[in-house]
Amino acid sequence: MATVIDGKAFAQQLRNDLKEKVAALKSEHRLTPGLAVVLVGEDPASQVYVRNKARQTVEVGMESFEHRLGADTDEKTLLDLIERLNNDDAVHGILVQLPLPAHIDEPKVINAVSHDKDVDGFHLINVGRLNTDGGGVVPCTPLGSLMMLKSQLGDLSGLHAVVLGRSNIVGKPMAALLLQANCTVTVAHSRTRNLDALCRTADILVAAVGRARMVPGDWIKPGATVIDVGINRIEEDGKMRLVGDVDYPSAEAVAGAITPVPGGVGPMTIACLLHNTVQQARRIAGIGED
């Protein structure tokens, strides 16, 4: 039976540490890190995410600024708001909740956020830095996944990591981080051949495809560490369930360690958002990273 990597407990620990760091920044530097979250439209899942982010921001002692705009907000109004937040000294992190309504140019908005305040790590400068000098802001979901992997395995050097999925927000930055950690990395996607055989060669398997239970236990090398990023809402036995991209019962019997869904990568993503905001507050204030 695999060790369960408890993302919820991990995230709690990270938030506890952040609470202490925020208290120290306040008392020693009179600095309160602030996170602004911008939501355009009424997407129910996005509303839940934004509420959770705001609650956890306040719980660690940071300032939370919420900006809710109607679904018919035009691009210029959104860009003007971002410009104001870029120039607001109380704001150290800006998160624009995605997806944006179809009439708004998403890349344009992402790159309008100052790269210093881009706590999602999606700005082209941060993407470029992740793939070159390894500096800049790292996207939250891959960062949380890497933290759990390092805690579970220690040094990742030489391990073969297979990343299933090549999105800009998960697959690609995850692959970049694993490469930086000296893994041998294979990125797989919808055109990859012999996916099952490829996955069986992985010491580390990161699944980020968005397909419920796509990876069964017999795709997993015995003892491998499995990070299940997927969040899929399915209806089963008349109930709505949240399941990952990995078939948990069969995978748990083969893997060495595995993240559950829910309670794995998800909680770490928000905790890493707070972590990134604290880091950026320090950088902007010239205090340096801790």
Which residues are known catalytic residues? 53, 97, 120
Distance (Å, whole) CA 264 – CA 141? 11
* Distance from C-alpha of 127 to C-alpha of 160, rounded to nearest angstrom: 23
Cβ-based neighbours of 12, under 8 Å, separated by 6 or more:
267
Stretch binding ligand NDP (CB under 6 A), from 76-84, 173-181, 190-198, 217-225: 190-198
Our CB check for ligand NDP shows the closer of 79 and 179 to be 179
Q: 172-200 as b/e, with b when 16 or more CB fall inside 10 Å?
A: bbbbbbbbbbebebbbbeeeeeebeebbb
Shortest reach from residue 267's CB to ligand NDP, in Å: 8
CB of 53 to ligand NDP, least distance (A): 11
Q: Does 232 sit near ligand NDP (CB under 6 A)?
A: yes
Nearest distance from residue 65's CB to ligand NDP, in Å?
A: 22
Residues 114-173 that bind ligand NDP (CB under 6 A): 141, 164-167, 169-171
Nearer to ligand NDP, 61 or 263 (CB): 263
The secondary structure of residue 98, as a DSSP letter, is S
Mark residue 237 as left, alpha or beta (left: phi above 0; alpha: psi -120 to 50; beta: remaining): left
Distance of CA 287 to the CA centre of its chain: 25
Smallest gap from Cβ 288 to ligand NDP, in A, equals 29
Give how many residues touch ligand NDP by CB under 6 A.
25
Pairing mode, strands 239-243 and 160-164: unpaired
Member of 33, 142, 173, 230 binding ligand NDP (CB under 6 A):
230
Contacts (CB under 6 A) with ligand NDP, residues 57-116: none
**Inter-CA distances, 210 with 44, 137, 140, 199, 213, Å:** 18, 24, 17, 17, 9
Residue of the chain from 231, 255, 273, 274 that contacts ligand NDP (CB under 6 A): 231
Query: Rounded CA gap, 52 and 49, in Å?
Result: 5
Residue nearest to ligand NDP (CB): 167
**Residue 190 in the binding site for ligand NDP (CB under 6 A):** yes
Rounded to a whole number of angstroms, the minimum distance from the CB of residue 206 to ligand NDP is: 10
Phi-psi region of 9 (alpha: psi -120 to 50; beta: other; left: phi over 0): alpha
Nearest to ligand NDP of 33, 244 (CB atom) = 244
Residues that bind ligand NDP (CB under 6 A): 141, 164-167, 169-171, 188-192, 195, 208-211, 229-232, 265-266, 269
